[in-house]
Homo-oligomer: A and B are copies of this chain.
Amino acid sequence: MKIALLGGTGPQGRGLALRWALAGVDVIVGSRNAERGQKIAEELSERLGKAKGKIIGMSNADAVAQADEFVVLAVPYAGHRPTLESLKDSLHEKILVDVVVPLVEDNPKKVSMPPEGSATEEAQAILGESIPVVGALHNVSAHVLDKTDLPVNCDVLVCGQNKEAKDKVIALVEKLGVQAFNAGLAVSARAIEPITSILIRLNISKGTPFKHAGIKIWPESFCRF
């Protein structure tokens, strides 16, 4: 399996690249700047040891072309629409995994949701119905992803219009060692994306032990332990 990770040079992208490669997935780190993509891929590769997955870097467009099915979008929100519009024609037969949260640039305790309702819905509107968009991994802390000697401390809520694509993304996400749940149609992204800014608020205001907190779906039965 070879996945493209667009915006893979940012903190979230780098952490996801490491975690997936450690799980045996080949990752193509895409960047607007191919050289920067290569440089970051080399840096990340040094941390992989004997991992089965490889990390290579190139331009976003080349990364999409070489991905076999999954294209993960992890750019800052400002790059969300431009990246999708420029790559739209090459995304046929792919599944777009949208990790982007519309955080307010200078105040990540807030979101500014797009007119479509959420980034995931905006992506689906840009790409059209024939390219499935699946929202996932919005609430995972980049800091936690980077500490690869520890497990990831959260569950992942996955949403989108296409059930088959969602099931595939759930399997891809679970390679990271987390539980992933089908959280319904794309409209659920209106709830899931802003959870990130609530967590960032707790990170800032509460400090330890709520720095880099995640969310867990907690069974009733766990009360008994």
Interface residues of A (CB under 8 A from B): 109-110, 113, 141, 143-144, 150-154, 157, 181-184, 187-188, 190-195, 197-199, 201-202, 205-206, 208-224
Contacts and interface: CB of A to CB of B under 8 A. Distances in A.
Nearest to A224: B150
A217 to B, nearest CB: 5
Q: 10 tightest CB-CB pairs across the interface, nearest first?
A: A209-B219, A191-B194, A212-B220, A216-B216, A216-B218, A150-B223, A183-B198, A153-B223, A191-B191, A214-B218
B220 A184 contact: no
13 contacts: A144-B223, A150-B220, A150-B224, A151-B223, A153-B222, A154-B218, A183-B202, A188-B194, A190-B194, A191-B198, A213-B220, A214-B220, A215-B217
Contact of A219 (B113, B182, B192, B213): B213
A219 B211 CA distance: 7
Q: How many copies does the complex hold?
A: 2
A209 B97 CA distance: 27
Contacts of A183: 198, 201-202
B184 A219 contact: no
Contacts of A214: 217-218, 220
Contacts of A187: 110
A206 B181 contact: yes
B184 A197 contact: yes
Contacts of A215: 215-218
Nearest to A203: B220
Interface centre among A109, A182, A191 (most CB of B within 10 A): A191
Contacts of A212: 219-220
